[in-house]
Amino acid sequence: MTATRVLVLNSGSSSVRYQLLEMADGSRQAAGIVERIGERQSRLVHSSPASGGETPNASGGETPALASGGERRERVEEFADHDAALRAVARELEADGCGLEDPRLAAIGHRVVHGGQTFTRPTLVDDAVLAEIERLIPLAPLHNPANLTGITTARSLNPGLPQVAVFDTTFHTTMPEHAARYAIDTATADEHLVRRYGFHGTSHAYVSRRTAEMLGKDPSEVNVIVLHLGNGASASAVRAGRCVDTSMGLTPLEGLVMGTRSGDVDPAVVLHLVRVAGMSVDGVDQLLNKRSGLVGLCGDNDMREIRRRVDEGEEEARLAFDIYVHRLKKYIGAYCAVLGRVDAVAFTAGVGENSAPVRRAALQGLEGLGLSVDDARNEAEPEGPAPAGARIVSPDGAPVAVAVVPTDEELEIARQTYELVSEAGSAAHR
Ligand code: ADP
């Protein structure tokens, strides 16, 4: 029996999201989440299609979307640690007929947030790889430890199964030095690994490739600006399939205005808040990451709610929307300059896929750069279930295509994982 399935795991500090994908047709065989790991009342929600059909993408919401006509099981009990949580996930998968020992399972693909400069491609996990991910913990102190726990636990459950680490930073490792470096003292920067890494890489990779497909071109033939606008938000400039600039930096704080993060500020704002306002470093960290962005400006970070308030004439919400869009427009302009020639601008993630007003406002006035939306197309509801909602919303014959492309980070992680283990397998047979 050929192994054509990949289990994708995204391990957070107190949660694990997972999806089981069949690579022969990209279909989702199961999806779920375990939340509140380590608490008395952990919760596991598992959904699977009734008969091997499509289970909706479970990446976005709090809990996996219920497969239409499928099955949804929920358990509330104590999962003391990741080991207990993953064992419970394995039992759910087993109950659906594809446990971790199943010969159809080719590998587990793990999302790992930070791969530093080391991991320029998805990587088969061994002890040296684990040690390197651990060495990079200072760059992602909240995420890399949780990602590591997920890998080591999964490995212990089936030591024979290939485990592949897919990094959020990898797609951006092609950035040239002049885009990746900050203009600060080189010796200090090098000693402390201070440079621009970028994040959301699997999404930027997936969306830029899908956009090329939509244009009927090979990724090597097109230049794309990808705008990933979720709760976290980032932009990237992709030339011929390779990232040449991105808006997030050393951490995901840099760049666009986000749900709760400020994005770009004068770095001296931090100094001012510490020296003049007497805030602690942790206090500033909290402020810029959790109490800034849209939520800091108007108290809401959900774009639907903000638009409702704008439509009711609320000034505070209007200003928050305008600041969000102004920053976005500046990055679009900057990346037009970086790329020289732009074939497409692609909007993705919660806001990018769903908010017609953001797309319209971000491109308003950029007709001189060949950028505009067709209002009827931009506002039309997508047809069919995600990810079928990929569509072009620019006018016919526009110099630059504007696309809405639902992202699918799990499918991209699974694809990269499967490609790697297939290559490794065929190399072993040679
Ligand atoms: P993340 O994965 O970063 O948590 P998502 O990509 O799921 O985020 O995006 C979540 C955000 O998308 C929400 O906070 C909300 O602002 C926005 N969003 C979701 N649906 C809509 C919609 N229909 N219209 C406008 N914004 C939406």
Q: Looking at beta carbons, which pairs linking 175-179 to residues 24 or more positions away fall under 8 Å? A: 175/243, 175/244, 175/245, 175/246, 176/244, 179/244, 179/245, 179/338
Q: How far is CA 230 from CA 59, 119, 271, in A?
A: 11, 25, 29
Asked whether residue 230 is marked as a ligand-binding residue, the answer is yes
Cα–Cα distance measured from residue 169 to residue 117, given in angstroms and rounded to the nearest whole number:
8
Quick one: tokens of 391?
């569509």
Asked whether residue 270 carries a pLDDT value surpassing 70, the answer given is yes
This prediction's pTM: 0.93
Q: Looking at beta carbons, which pairs linking 295-298 to residues 24 or more positions away fall under 8 Å? A: 295/259, 295/260, 296/260, 296/262, 297/257, 297/323
User: What is the position in ligand 1's atom list of the atom closest to the CA of 302?
Assistant: 16
For 93-146, what is each residue's pLDDT tens digit? 999 988 899 999 999 999 999 999 999 999 999 999 999 999 999 999 889 999
DSSP SS3 for 5:
strand
Q: What is the per-residue pLDDT for 52? A: 46
For 275-309, what is each residue's pLDDT tens digit? 999 999 999 999 999 999 999 999 999 999 999 99
DSSP SS3 for 366:
coil
**376 phi/psi in degrees, rounded to 5:** -65, -45
Residues of the chain with CATH 3.30.420.40: 5-167, 216-410
Cα–Cα distance measured from residue 181 to residue 190, given in angstroms and rounded to the nearest whole number:
10
User: What is the pLDDT averaged over residues 167-180?
Assistant: 98
Following CA atoms 64, 74, 11, 248 in sequence, which dihedral angle do they give, to the nearest 10 degrees? 30
Q: What is the per-residue pLDDT for 54? A: 47
Q: Is the CB of 344 under 6 A from ligand 1?
A: no
Architecture (CATH level 2) of domain 216-410: 2-Layer Sandwich (3.30)
Pairing of strands 344-348, 223-229: parallel
Asked whether residue 301 is marked as a ligand-binding residue, the answer is no
May I ask the CATH class of domain 5-167?
alpha beta
User: What is the position in ligand 1's atom list of the atom closest to the CA of 407?
Assistant: 6
For 382-410, what is each residue's pLDDT tens digit? 765 544 589 999 999 999 999 999 999 99
For 45-72, what is each residue's pLDDT tens digit? 999 986 544 444 434 444 444 345 688 9
Q: What is the per-residue pLDDT for 61? A: 41
Q: Is the CB of 230 under 6 A from ligand 1?
A: yes
DSSP SS3 for 229:
strand
